[in-house]
Structure 1
Amino acid sequence: MPTGHEDFDAFYTATAKRLVATVYAVTGDLAEAEDAVQEAYVRAWQRWDRLARDGDPLPWVRTVAIRLAISTWRRARNRVRAHFRHGPPTEVPGLSVDRVALVGALGELSIEQRQAVVLHHLLDLPVEEVAREAGVSNGAVRTRLHRARKILGERLAETIVTAGRVEGVHHG
């Protein structure tokens, strides 16, 4: 029978990479995402017996990581804006080129809209679970998603047109 330590190690191995990618998509800052995720796992380890007993610990760890990252993001807003002006890194572990382009587009959204989009559209969580993790109503999540989709639609359409011109892709 596995020990708590072995269970935690297996959980960490199975979830850490995707969680870093998720938090990165919310914040746009890979170093901050890695730091927030590491801290969330430290906090999970401190409560591991209870978290494991209560069921799937991933939503708890994800919520803690995103809240830590958002808190850091708010304190360093100007630095993050500068990051988006210069674009995301060209290679990000665990994210495809399309996902990196999406992260750049996510930079146009408020942090609350980004969190809703990442949890709902990238992780396929239902609106109710997004609301629970964000600490807001279902209606607030739906409003954030609606506004975010409009902004992303415009931004990604511009990115596709620009990429087509840059790469010399001609349609028709």
Structure 2
Amino acid sequence: MDRDDGFEEFYRATRHRAVTVLYALGGDIHEAQDAAQEAYVRAWQRWQRISGYDDPEAWVHTVGYRLLQNRWRKIRNGIAAQRRDRPTTAAGPPSENTVALVAALRQLPKDQREAVVLHHLADLSVADIATRTAVPAGTVKARLARGRRALAPLLGTTLPEEVSNA
């Protein structure tokens, strides 16, 4: 029996179903296609033996699924290795001031909160914030001023005279 005797017909009749099964099992169409392709290559290499099985398609599904599992295992092990190789400096709990600031920021409207955080915590200029948020610089300035005025009483502080009149 020639090694590819009947294999081409088997492949054409089952390839769509195999990819569909592997996609359903793994959730990634590209990974499913790769695993199915590799499973069919292995089936072709062993076709003399596999063609005699009661259900050669089940063999392809099993091999394809094992290939998916091996890929997942490699990815999981790679992530574990990265975590293991990172420095072990754990961040401590946030300070009381940080907790209070975040709580106060949550009470601001989104546009004001964004402007205040980008300007005061990310150290972006008004022009950079305007570019990033796609609003005019004057709007950014207004949002900063309103945000600062709203934050002051929430944080139990008062604004300097030059800021409160801006």
Q: Shorter-normalised TM-score: what interval? A: 0.3 to 0.5
TM-score (norm 1): 0.41
Of structures 1 and 2, the one scoring higher in RCO (CA 8 A, sep 6+) is 1
Query: Which is higher, the Rg of structure 1 or of structure 2?
Result: 2
